[in-house]
Amino acid sequence: MLAKYIASNDKCIAILGNKRGETADLAISRSSGVDIVVNGFFKDVLRVFDGKGGGNANMSKVEAPQRD
C-alpha cells in the first residue's frame, strides 16, 4: 500500500484519497515517530460520513458512500 510505503520515512503522515464510482476511499498511515492515533481519527470520520473501515494506531482505511 502506498500510504504505508510513504510513512516508512521518519516523522511522516500519509493521507490518500480515491473516488471509485459512488464510493470514496481514504487511507492514512503514520511513521512510528509520529504521536497520533490514526484509528481514533477515523472513528469520527466514519460517524460523519456513514462509512466503514478499520485499522490500528499506525494505519487505517475507510470506505464511504459519495456525498454531494
Residue type, 25: D
Closest by Cα among 53, 48, 49, 55 to 30: 55
DSSP string, 12-49: -EEEEEEEETTEEEEEEEE-TTS---HHHHHHHHHHHH
pTM, two decimals, is 0.75
Specify the pLDDT at position 46: 79
Specify the pLDDT at position 6: 81
Mean pLDDT, contiguous 10-residue spans, the chain (68 residues): 81 89 89 86 78 87 81
Set of cell numbers at residue 9? 520515512
Pick the CATH number of 2-65 from 3.90.550.10, 3.10.310.40, 3.40.50.300, 2.60.40.3120: 3.10.310.40
Set of cell numbers at residue 54? 478499520
